[in-house]
């Protein structure tokens, strides 16, 4: 009788544990390092933003973010890696939406918008054009006049052949037919700033985040910002809008994207983690110190923004004969 009782108790215990075992075996996501692929070289604004977030994730949640900077190829090699990554929520891309939308509409990349889904917008950066502080060029008009006087010898550089900055500048130069202002392509905003500092280029077109340290040190002067109004941190930097017209504004949204087939619940987990990170006072302070803004946008809205930018870029490419 005692033996039978022991067998019944064991069977009952097994029945209780079996339904729980799958849940006990299933670890919370993410339970291992997450890779963030950046389609720019190291040291730029996106790299800075990613590393601030990585520090927060590690400190607050014990989640490791592996930041991988893969510049070159107008962002295509990096974003192809994201598109082809296992759709398990452990690989994301952190692109600038304009460059992300430009490259696949100009050349074969092996991916398109349909291969990705939005996770969250992280920051919106403003394009800025700078020259050396001792340059005789004081504003955008001065750059155009210098280019007219020295055809082919005055140039501007950006972080890639299909960068947001080049797309914006191509639109501007349509208003100045006949002006020869060659473009020089690098792989990151940091490289552009280094080239300008070394006087290898006439002007560097980046974002305010990358150029801020050089402005503060007295090495650079910003001669054009693509924001609607002058930025509080650069009150002496004129906007393109005030120099050329109100239509010359160009925001540059940046955010996390995932392979299309990543489960929705994992996208939402990452979205919520980023929302909390960008609301954290310490993260906000570090972003501000780097010249970055925290501009969270949830997955569904960011997906709409991705589609909007993709369509807008398609129109601009046709208008500027870049496709």
pLDDT score for 147: 97
Judged against a pLDDT cut of 60, whether residue 3 lies above it is answered with no
Q: Say if CB 290 and CB 48 are below 8 A apart.
A: yes
Please give, one letter per residue, the 3-state secondary structure of the chain: CHHHHHHHHHHHHHHHHHHHHHHHHCCCCCCCCEEEEECCCCCCHHHHHHHHHHHHHHHHHCCCEEEEECCCHHHHHHHHHHHHCCCCCCEEECCEHHHHHHHHHCCCCCCCHHHEEEEEEEEEEEEEEEEECCCCCCCHHHHHHHHHHCCCCCCEEECCCCCHHHHHHHHHHCCCCCCCCCEEECCCHHHHHHHHHCCCCCEEEEEHHHHHHHHHCCCEEEEEECCCCCCCCCCCCCEHHHHHCCCCCCEEEEEEEEECCCCHHHHHHHHHHHHHHHHCHHHHHHHHHCCCCCCCECHHHHHHHHHHHHHHHHHHHHHCCCC
213 shares its domain with 311: no
201 shares its domain with 58: no
131 shares its domain with 233: yes
- 72 assigned to some structural domain: yes
- 104 assigned to some structural domain: yes
pLDDT tens figures, 160-190? 888 889 989 998 999 999 999 999 999 888 8
User: Looking at residue 85, which CATH number applies to its domain?
Assistant: 3.40.190.150
- 133 assigned to some structural domain: yes
pLDDT score for 23: 37
- 107 assigned to some structural domain: yes
Q: Say if CB 78 and CB 37 are below 8 A apart.
A: yes
pLDDT score for 24: 34
pLDDT score for 10: 46
The three-point CA angle 189-229-257 to 5° equals: 45
Q: Say if CB 66 and CB 74 are below 8 A apart.
A: no
- CA–CA distance, 283 with 58 (Å, rounded to integer): 13
Judged against a pLDDT cut of 80, whether residue 8 lies above it is answered with no
Please state, rounded to an integer, the average pLDDT across all residues of the chain: 90
Judged against a pLDDT cut of 80, whether residue 22 lies above it is answered with no
- 208 assigned to some structural domain: yes
How many domains are there within the chain? Answer: 2
213 shares its domain with 116: no
User: Could you say which of 244, 279, 309 is where a domain stops?
Assistant: 244
Judged against a pLDDT cut of 90, whether residue 251 lies above it is answered with no
205 shares its domain with 305: no
- 290 assigned to some structural domain: yes
The three-point CA angle 62-67-71 to 5° equals: 170
pLDDT score for 323: 63
Mean per-residue pLDDT, 206-230 = 94
pTM beyond cutoff 0.85: no
Judged against a pLDDT cut of 80, whether residue 26 lies above it is answered with no
pLDDT score for 187: 83
User: Distances from the Cα of 188 to the Cαs of 43, 47, 90, 157, 193, in angstroms?
Assistant: 8, 10, 25, 10, 9
Neighbours of 197 (CB within 10 A): 15
User: Looking at residue 209, which CATH number applies to its domain?
Assistant: 3.40.190.10
- 191 assigned to some structural domain: yes
- CA–CA distance, 95 with 69 (Å, rounded to integer): 11
Per-residue pLDDT band for 27 (boundaries 50, 70, 90) equals low
Per-residue pLDDT band for 101 (boundaries 50, 70, 90) equals very high
133 shares its domain with 225: yes
Burial class (CB within 10 angstroms; exposed 0-12, middle 13-18, buried 19+) of 206: buried
Mean per-residue pLDDT, 31-51 = 93
- 197 assigned to some structural domain: yes
Domain span at residue 172?
Answer: 126-244
- CA–CA distance, 250 with 158 (Å, rounded to integer): 15
Q: Which residue has the higher pLDDT, 90 or 98?
A: 90
User: Could you say which of 191, 214, 244 is where a domain stops?
Assistant: 244
User: How does strand 251-259 pair with strand 116-132?
Assistant: antiparallel
- CA–CA distance, 33 with 57 (Å, rounded to integer): 11
pLDDT score for 11: 45
User: Could you say which of 244, 275, 294 is where a domain stops?
Assistant: 244
Structure-token pair, residue 305: 């923004």
Neighbours of 26 (CB within 10 A): 9
Judged against a pLDDT cut of 60, whether residue 100 lies above it is answered with yes
Judged against a pLDDT cut of 90, whether residue 16 lies above it is answered with no
């Amino acid at each position: 009788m005692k033996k039978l009782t022991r067998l019944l108790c064991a069977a009952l215990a097994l029945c209780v544990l079996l339904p729980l075992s799958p849940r006990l075996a299933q670890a919370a996501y993410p339970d291992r390092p997450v890779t963030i692929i950046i389609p720019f070289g190291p040291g730029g604004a996106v790299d800075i933003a990613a590393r601030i977030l990585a520090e927060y994730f590690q400190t607050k949640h014990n989640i490791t973010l592996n930041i991988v900077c893969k510049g070159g190829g107008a962002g295509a090699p990096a974003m192809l890696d994201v598109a082809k990554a296992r759709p398990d929520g452990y690989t994301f891309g952190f692109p600038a939406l304009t460059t992300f939308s430009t490259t696949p509409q100009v050349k074969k990349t092996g991916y398109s918008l349909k291969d990705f889904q939005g996770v969250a917008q992280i920051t919106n950066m403003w394009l800025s054009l700078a020259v050396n502080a001792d340059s005789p060029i004081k504003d955008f008009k001065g750059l155009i006049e210098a280019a007219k006087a020295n055809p082919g010898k005055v140039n501007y550089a950006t972080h890639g052949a299909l960068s947001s900055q080049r797309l914006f500048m191509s639109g501007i130069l349509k208003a100045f037919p006949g002006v020869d202002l060659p473009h020089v392509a690098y792989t990151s905003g940091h490289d552009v700033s280094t080239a300008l500092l070394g006087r290898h280029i006439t002007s560097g077109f980046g974002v305010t985040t990358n150029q801020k340290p050089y402005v503060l040190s007295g090495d650079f002067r910003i001669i054009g910002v693509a924001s609607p109004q002058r930025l509080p941190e650069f009150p002496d930097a004129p906007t393109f809008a005030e120099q050329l017209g109100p239509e010359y504004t160009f925001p540059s949204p940046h955010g996390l994207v995932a392979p299309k087939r990543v489960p929705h619940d994992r996208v939402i987990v990452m979205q919520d983690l980023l929302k909390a990170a960008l609301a954290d006072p310490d993260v906000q302070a570090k972003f501000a110190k780097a010249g970055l803004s925290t501009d969270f946008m949830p997955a569904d809205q960011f997906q709409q923004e991705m589609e909007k930018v993709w369509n807008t870029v398609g129109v601009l490419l046709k208008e500027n004969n870049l496709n």
